[in-house]
Structure 1
């Protein structure tokens, strides 16, 4: 019998993804291990391998479809001797999801519905009984109560932002599907959103909606839809900022000895090895976590997880968001190894080619904006890690030395953001002291 090919879970936290590209078409024969599609997750673009052998009988989800749920059927594979007519469309899950609440409510007493509602229900029942079976539903189509609305996810988002009722539109896509241009060509306000076009949050405060025409005229901006990475970054950082009680600690660190040591190391190193300041900071952070193990921790509902190794996540800016590849067991790695590993991870992060296990599992994060001349800043904690270090630019400042004289020194400001459920102020201060000791006396990293 035909075999369903489903949307794979490419990471432990993946709930949905974008089917970016099909590398096969209907009628193609495939073998186990063959690359058949590319899936865009929140952090990377990953290849999907075929598990079984056979012929592609039907592609259920077209390339470019966003929001495809994990385990949704994306294609059907025919085995030897089977033909395309053997393919049957999977049952529409949303209809079952709506039927369950109705059954649960059946036992509760309820007031009679309005006559208009009864009339609509009767008309809908009569229509469904006489109508011929509709076109096969794909993964981006939905069933609404009383009527079938077939629309792409992008069309639905644009319609929601513009306050357009999809029921009033006629789709120009396949099988009458409502697509982007149908919504963009519709008149805004076809269905007035609640509260005059602005969302009403739970606390009752009315917030302005950026796409409300009363604030910005439609022709004064260009709307770029959110990709999976931007959605995930927005969701995770909002949850972190709102749900994690946090506090910042900042300190100034003198860099002159570190810069001299870096120059000497690079002069003695092979030509293909070049240690950066960031490589030295990664090593110093890892050693400081070993010195202060109470800070190498994560909060969980079951207790505090104290980590045995310093796995340093490093923030890397990529197009459309941010990703944090991890240097695992950084405390035991040499500077040359850290440098080589960081260059490779950063390059593949920008190409969105990292594997989930390469950007998950960090115990501490570093975000460095010094190269942009940012003097100081505070970062949002990257859950479930307990701390994140924000590194500012090294700059010449007037400093009073031990003799009381005013001298010029290269100084940088760092800010440590701590999860107060795990790290207290004293613990955070002790970690900063250990980190500064390694940075200002880099020879201590050799001990």
Structure 2
């Protein structure tokens, strides 16, 4: 039975060891890992520790969006324990073992690295309380480790703090001190959240946004003797023009905010930024552009609509034309193997289509698109797009693909260049249709036409970005010529 994630098969063997000597065991299947630890107290408590699995090849961290079980609930094989937000989508956390939920080791909405222990199951319900004591020990150990690894707890970080005292009695970091001096903020009115009561830059920004701070008198300085890092920062501080902060006659609670909001990157956007930066740095991009006439497609869609049927969208025609073009030029249907430094020809034409979501772009896949009819492509694409925006795609529905299409025509973009997503070798950037005067008797719309033969036509520009190591511009040009042939003869795609 196909499930939303690969199954984690756990053995039912018994092993009792002391808590201080517990050893994690890893069982990896289909890229997903589940750590199993057997704990034993004086009464021997068999329990299972669930770890945050890697649900995609690029996933390094994950977030528990929602726990589907409560402490004390019975978990049976195949039950969904939680929803996990990966770098691509929200995926069900299915467990293939049985037991009672004894404790959750991390909370909802918190981001943790892959492999982090997330929950403990026990086989016997009466052992829940004892297992919770073990969970408290694990949480305490994790907190201690996190504190010792924190950069702010290191001596170097402590030495960089400025000599400004805040509400908590601590100091202000240089960036916070500079910001408070710029706006003449009284440090004692800023609520500190840093270690040992230190004022962080974020504390000052929150105070500015809420207006809950006091203004220092003109004659009073934050610190008569700033630290060396602070003095250096003040020396090179550029002049910033900004609206003056109105002086407050009281506590400063009526001061308005600064008018901006810090938006943290989602896991998806972090991965997108990392992979596209790597692609631009390491992949030799070759760009090729061609123009296609859309007159015949628009006429065909109008005819289908006049018959009372819903026609395929222009994007459906683009997907089908690209798939058929890849069968005509199979050298372009390939990926790049970085380890072997070689091109890998793909036997299946799996088209990845970029879909915009609130968290970033995701590319659901139309598998074997060359064998699908236009109606099937249309239905499949609508379903994938809806589930992509709802974060309900299965991992196998967005991982892989041999060719990517990114269409910005619906936003009024006439032409753009897209960045290749490794290990794929090609991505097709599709612009919107534009009305131009062309010669209908000349197939090559890029050639110089006879002015007397010009007529109005709707044309579309597409740009192919290809990995020069395996799809050079000659192969890319042949692919685009084949693509244009299908787009201008849509009956060949029916």
Q: Which category describes the TM-score, using the shorter chain as reference length?
A: 0.7 to 0.9
SS in 2 for 1:230: helix
Cα separation, partners in 2 of 1:183 and 1:400, compared to 1, 3 Å? closer
How far apart, CA to CA, are the structure 2 residues paired with 1:57 and 1:213?
57
Contact kept? 1:398, 1:406, Cα under 8 Å: yes
- Name 2:427's counterpart in structure 1: 388
Pairwise CA distance, 1:181:
6.7
Contact kept? 1:72, 1:139, Cα under 8 Å: no
Where does structure 2 lack aligned partners over 5 or more consecutive residues? 1-45, 155-171, 178-191, 214-221, 244-256, 443-449
Q: How does 1:8-407 map to 2 (within 5 A)?
A: 8-66=53-111, 68-80=112-124, 81-86=126-131, 87-89=133-135, 135-137=140-142, 141-144=146-149, 168-170=195-197, 184=206, 196=233, 219-267=258-306, 271=309, 273-301=310-338, 302=340, 303-402=342-441, 404=450, 405-407=453-455
- Name 2:479's counterpart in structure 1: 431
Cα separation, partners in 2 of 1:160 and 1:148, compared to 1, 3 Å? closer
Cα separation, partners in 2 of 1:442 and 1:135, compared to 1, 3 Å? closer
Where does structure 1 lack aligned partners over 5 or more consecutive residues? 93-133, 150-158, 172-177, 198-205
How far apart, CA to CA, are the structure 1 residues paired with 2:426 and 2:117?
40
Pairwise CA distance, 1:161:
12
Contact kept? 2:350, 2:368, Cα under 8 Å: yes
The superposition leaves residues 322-355 of structure 1 with CA deviations (integer Å, 9 ceiling, x where unpaired) of 0111101111111111111001000101101101
Cα separation, partners in 2 of 1:310 and 1:146, compared to 1, 3 Å? closer
How far apart, CA to CA, are the structure 2 residues paired with 1:296 and 1:335?
20
Contact kept? 2:152, 2:195, Cα under 8 Å: no
- Name 1:2's counterpart in structure 2: 47
Pairwise CA distance, 1:137:
2.7
Pairwise CA distance, 1:285:
0.4
Pairwise CA distance, 1:400:
3.0
Cα separation, partners in 2 of 1:265 and 1:298, compared to 1, 3 Å? same
How far apart, CA to CA, are the structure 1 residues paired with 2:332 and 2:425?
7
The superposition leaves residues 346-388 of structure 1 with CA deviations (integer Å, 9 ceiling, x where unpaired) of 0101101101110111111111111111111111112211111
SS in 1 for 2:134: coil
Contact kept? 1:169, 1:182, Cα under 8 Å: no
Query: How many pairs align?
Result: 375
- Name 1:174's counterpart in structure 2: none
Q: Pick which of 397-406 and 334-343 moved more.
A: 397-406
Contact kept? 1:395, 1:412, Cα under 8 Å: yes
Contact kept? 2:415, 2:432, Cα under 8 Å: yes
SS in 2 for 1:249: strand
Contact kept? 2:120, 2:135, Cα under 8 Å: no
How far apart, CA to CA, are the structure 1 residues paired with 2:464 and 2:147?
46
TM-score (norm 2): 0.67
TM-score (norm 1): 0.74
How far apart, CA to CA, are the structure 2 residues paired with 1:309 and 1:194?
62
